Amino acid sequence: DAGVIQSPRHEVTEMGQEVTLRCKPISGHNSLFWYRQTMMRGLELLIYFNNNVPIDDSGMPEDRFSAKMPNASFSTLKIQPSEPRDSAVYFCASSLQNSPLHFGNGTRLTVT
């Protein structure tokens, strides 16, 4: 079991640039979640998908953020344009039905 795979592990970019974070969920899982972790706000749910369909994106902070899940084995979270306040660790998690979430190791994003 390879677990949830996220790439890159670290991303450093300049303000205004586009950032794309990638996630490969555990094979067979039908729900996928994107979380953001910061010291100030803790873990925030940004968006989640069920069977590749976005169910709730109310946690997406602004229109600069977008997420896609083109198939059951891949999802992206895009920030365009990026801002320094977007600096955080972004986690992807997947689950099957109502089983517990399995988390990836995260992408640490730094926007300068």
Q: Which residues bind other proteins (CB under 8 A)?
A: 4, 30-31, 33, 35, 42-43, 45, 48, 50, 55-56, 91, 93, 95, 97-98, 100-106
- Strand 5-7: give its sheet, edge to edge: 5-7, 19-24, 74-79, 65-71
CB closer to other proteins out of 82 and 94: 94
How, if at all, do strands 88-95 and 65-71 pair?
Answer: unpaired
Min dist CB 108 to other proteins, Å, is: 8
Among residues 11, 1, 6, 38, which one has the least CA distance to residue 103? 6
Min dist CB 66 to other proteins, Å, is: 18
